[in-house]
Amino acid sequence: MPVLTSNLDPRGSAYQENRQAMLERLTELESALRQARGGGGEKYVARHHARGKLLPRERIELLVDRDSPFLELCPVAAWGTDYPVGASVVTGIGVVEGIPCVIVANDPTVRGGAVNPFSLKKTQRAGQIARENRLPLINLVESGGADLPQQAEIFIPGGAAFRDLTRLSAAAIPTVAVVFGNATAGGAYVPGMSDYTIFVRDRAKVFLAGPPLVKMATGETVDDETLGGAAMHATRSGLADFVAEDERDALRLARGCIRNFRNFGPGRTYGPEPKFGADDLLGIPSADLRVPFDPREILARILDGSEFDEFKPAYGAALCTGWGAIHGHRVGVLANVRGVLFSAEAQKAAQFIQLANSSGTPLVFLQNTTGYMVGSEYEQGGIIKHGALMINAVANSRVPHLTINIGASYGAGNYGMCGRAFEPRFLFTWPNAKSAVMGPQQLAGVLSIVARQAAEAKGQVYDEEQDRTMRFMVEHKVEQESAALFLSGRLYDDGVIDPRDTRTVLGMCLALVGTGETAQFGVFRH
C-alpha cells in the first residue's frame, strides 16, 4: 500500500504558533477535567473516605483489569452550565476479565450522587454505546436518585433509563448492578432491571421509599436494614444475587459475573506504528480555522505504517477518501482538505460510503468543513441535490462510523461529515475544533443584513450604532457557543481529546464496533 510522506516543518514559525495555541486549549481542557475528577470537592470527598468508602474512579480502577486502558466518555458533561462539571456520574469503557464493558459509576460526593438532566443524558449515552456495540453494562450504584429541585426536568424523561436497561437484557447484552450505598425510589430499579446484582453488606440501601417517607405514608416505623439492606434483599426479597462483605469484595464478585460472558471478548489485532510521531499533531491545525491544512499530514500520524490507499484522488479533491488501517483494523477515511464541499466531493463521498458498505469496512470521518458551497453557479449545478445525496449515504450507511472533529464543522457539512445527529458510534473533538450553524462573523452579518432590509421596508433609518453593538454581541456569543468545551459540556460529543491520543482512541473504538452489516444493493457510480 502507498506510504504517506510529510511536508511538515516542525521548526517553522507557523507550526510553533499552532502548537502553542493547541497547548493553551489543552490547559483549559485539563482544568475542566480536574474539576470533574474533584467530584463534590474536598469536604465531601474527605467525608466519603472517612466513611470507609471508595470514590467512583477508585471503584472503576479496582474493577478493570490491571494496567488496561479506560476510555472515559463525556468527562466534562455539564461544563459551562449551573451543574457540576462531570454531572455527578463517571462513564466509560473498561476491560474487565479481558472483555470491554461500559461502566457507569455514580459519584456520591456530588449532591449525594443525585441525577440531574446532564447526568441523565450522560448515562443514556453510555447505555446507547452498550447497545450499539453489544458491550456488557456494569452500574456502580450509589445515588440519592433524582436531583429533587430539578425533578421537572428529569422525572418523565428519566424513565427511559430503566426502559433501556431492560432492553439491553432483552437483546442478550448482560447488565450487572453493584450497589454500594443508597439506591432509593427510581434508583432501586437499576438493580431491579439488571441481570446480576451484588449488594454490599450493611451499606446497600435499596427501597422504594426510605424510613421517613414510609412513616409518613403508612405510619410504620422501620430501620434502613429491615427496609432495604443487603441481608434482607439476599434472604427475603431475592433482589440481591450476591452479598459482598465490603466494596472490594463487591468488585471482585462483579469481575466473577463478567467472567461468564466469554463470547463478548473482542478479537485482538495489531498494526505497525505510523512512520511519523504523534507529537506533530499539536502543530498541524492553526488556531485560525480559516488556515487550511492537509489531512494527509494527520493520517500519516494515525494510520498503521502511514499507509494510505487514496480513492479517486483527482476527483473532488477538497475531500480526501481512501483506505488504511488503525491498530490492525481496516478503515475507510473521509477527510476534508479545503473546508468547502462541492458537488464532486459530495458525489465522491456517496460512492465511497457505498464501497465501504459493500465490504463491511468501518468509516472514519475527519471533519474540517465550512459546509457546502453556496452561490448561483453551485445552486444551478445542483449542490442541494448532491449534498442530500451525501447526507443520504451517511444516514443510511450500515457500517460503524467514527467521527473526529479536527477543526471546523459548520453548516450542513456537519451533517454530511457524520455529525452527532447522524449517530456515529463514537464522536470525539480536538480542543481547537469549533462547530455551529455558521461562523460568528457570517451569522452576525446575516442578522445585520436581515435587520437592515426590514428597516428599509418600513421606511426607517437603520441605526448603525445599534447594528455594531448587535454584531459584536452576537459574534461573541456564537464564538463561545462554538467552542469544543462548550459543546462537550452539552454532550454533543463523547469527549474532547488530546490530538496525540487520536490513534489510541480510534484503535480502542474500532476494537469495539465490529464491522456492521453489508449493503443491500450495488454501488452507484456518481
How far is Cα 256 from Cα 40, in angstroms, rounded to an integer? 31
Which residue has cell 511519523?
A: 276
Q: Which is nearer to ligand COA, 1 or 185 (CB)?
A: 185
The cell numbers describing 181, all together, are: 450505598
The neighbour count for residue 179, using CB atoms within 10 Å, is 31
Rounded Cα gap, residues 298 and 22, in angstroms: 15
Residue placing its CB nearer to ligand COA in the complex, 185 or 438: 185
165-224: contacts with ligand COA (CB under 6 A): 182, 184-186, 210
Tell me which residue of 162, 168, 165 sits closest to 145, measured CA to CA.
Answer: 162
Between residues 154 and 353, which has the closer beta carbon with respect to ligand COA? 154
Shortest reach from residue 111's CB to ligand COA, in Å: 4
Does the protein bind ligand COA through residue 408 (CB under 6 A)? Answer: no
Neighbouring C-beta atoms of residue 517, cutoff 10 Å: 11
Q: At what angle do helices 464-482 and 440-457 cross, to 10 degrees?
A: 150
- Our CB check for ligand COA shows the closer of 83 and 261 to be 83
Q: How far is the CB of 236 from ligand COA (least distance, A)?
A: 22
Length of the chain: 526
CB closer to ligand COA, 145 vs 362: 145
User: Which span (26-34, 105-113, 456-464, 495-503) binds ligand COA, by CB under 6 A?
Assistant: 105-113
Exposure b/e, 261-283, CB count within 10 A at least 16 = b: beebebeeeebeebebebebbbb
Cα–Cα distance, 43 to 38 (Å, whole number): 10
Residue 10's contacts (CB-CB under 8 Å, 6 or more residues apart) are: 280, 283
Residues 107-146, mask of contacts with ligand COA (x by CB under 6 A): -x--xx-x-----------------------------xxx
Q: According to CB under 6 A, which one of 147, 164, 247, 345 is a site residue for ligand COA?
A: 147
Residue 317 Cα to chain centre, angstroms: 30
Query: How many other β-carbons are positioned within 10 Å of the β-carbon of residue 375?
Result: 9
Report the alpha-carbon distance of residue 498 to residue 163 in Å, rounded: 35
Provide the minimum distance between the beta carbon of 152 and ligand COA in the complex, in angstroms, as a whole number.
Answer: 13
What is the SS3 assignment for 331?
Answer: strand
Instruction: Tell me how far, at minimum, the Cβ of 43 lies from ligand COA, in Å.
Output: 8
Cβ proximity to ligand COA: between 148 and 449 the closer is 148
33, 59 contact by CB (below 8 A): no
68 or 151: whose CB is closer to ligand COA? 151
Shortest reach from residue 328's CB to ligand COA, in Å: 45
Smallest gap from residue 511 Cβ to ligand COA (A): 37
Minimal distance in Å, beta carbon 204 to ligand COA? 12
Q: Smallest distance from the beta carbon of 224 to ligand COA, in angstroms?
A: 9
Among 3, 23, 46, 148, binds ligand COA (CB under 6 A): 148
Of 158 and 400, which has the nearer Cβ to ligand COA? 158
In whole angstroms, how far apart are CA 480 and each of 111, 282, 447?
28, 22, 18
Closer Cβ to ligand COA, 114 or 373, answer by number: 114
- Closer residue to ligand COA (CB): 146 or 250: 146
CA of residue 284 relative to chain centroid, distance: 24
**178 and 191 Cβ atoms separated by less than 8 Å:** no
CB 188 within 8 Å of CB 142: no
Positions 307 through 366 that interact with ligand COA (CB under 6 A): none
* Binding to ligand COA, residues 78-97 (CB under 6 A): none
Number of residues that bind ligand COA (CB under 6 A): 14
Q: Which of 212, 522 has the CB closer to ligand COA?
A: 212
* C-alpha cell of residue 99: 472483555
Residue with smaller CB distance to ligand COA, 5 or 226: 226
Cβ 198 to ligand COA, closest distance in Å? Answer: 19
Residue with cell 479481558: 98
> Least distance to ligand COA from the beta carbon of 521, Å?
50
Q: Which residue is nearest to ligand COA (CB)?
A: 145
Output 180 or 415, the one with its CB closest to ligand COA: 180
Least Å from the CB of residue 147 to ligand COA: 4
Q: How far is the CB of 427 from ligand COA (least distance, A)?
A: 31
Distances (CA, A) of 518 to 42, 156, 193: 52, 38, 33
In the bound complex, what is the minimum distance in angstroms from residue 194's beta carbon to ligand COA? 18
Contact 299, 336 (CB under 8 A): no
Secondary structure, 3-state, 180-196: EEEEEHHHHHHHHHCCE
Strand partners, 139: 104, 177
Residue 151 one-letter amino acid: Q
The contact set with ligand COA (CB under 6 A) reads 108, 111-112, 114, 144-148, 182, 184-186, 210
